[in-house]
Amino acid sequence: MADLDEIIHQPLRLRIMAALNALPHSVGLEFVKLKKLTGATDGNLGAHIETLAKAGYVAVDKAFVGRKPQTTVTATAAGRGAFARHVATLQEIIAASAGEGGKQGGVN
């Protein structure tokens, strides 16, 4: 069984990657929207996005819309791949546990 991705496994980073991965490839989420969808605070979200960006899992685009700064976060191809592998590993853990339960049930 593959190891879990330690960067993605943290609960808030998992929610961030899940949100970004649910979008079409070239589409990102604004910081404010991502905050609402993940239920994070400003500081917390910023720190975790930075961790994901350093790992190459997300791209951060900062621009001005009118006079307001707007930060958009998009999942990279590497991030989408890592997220897919992480989800597959989670499913393997559940499947393996169900298999063990079945074996124990058979013995009894």
Partner 1 sequence: MIDSRQASAALNDINDVVRRVRQSRIYHLSSLIITIWGVLVAAAYIANYTWPRQGYTIWTITNLAGLAVTIAVGVISNARSGTRSFPIRSLTTFLLIGAFGVFCSVVLAHFGLRQMIVFWALYGMLFYAIAGLWFGYAFIVIAVCTTMLTLIGYYAVGANFLLWMAAAHGGGLVLGGLWMRRI
26 is a site residue for partner 1 (CB under 8 A): yes
Contact (Cβ atoms closer than 8 angstroms) between residue 60 and residue 73 = yes
Closest approach of Cβ 37 to partner 1, in Å? 5
- 45 by Cβ neighbours in 10 Å (0-12 / 13-18 / 19+) ranks as buried
Nearer to partner 1, 78 or 90 (CB): 90
Instruction: Out of 5, 38, 57, 73, name the contact with partner 1 by CB under 8 A.
Output: 38
Write a three-state SS string for 36-88: HHHCCCHHHHHHHHHHHHHCCCEEEEEEEECCEEEEEEEECHHHHHHHHHHHH
Instruction: Out of 19, 53, 55, 60, name the contact with partner 1 by CB under 8 A.
Output: 19
4 is a site residue for partner 1 (CB under 8 A): yes
Instruction: Out of 67, 98, 102, 106, name the contact with partner 1 by CB under 8 A.
Output: 98
35 is a site residue for partner 1 (CB under 8 A): no
Closest approach of Cβ 80 to partner 1, in Å? 13
40 is a site residue for partner 1 (CB under 8 A): no
Kindly give, in sequence order, each residue whose CB lies less than 8 Å from that of residue 100, ignoring residues fewer than 6 positions away. Answer: none
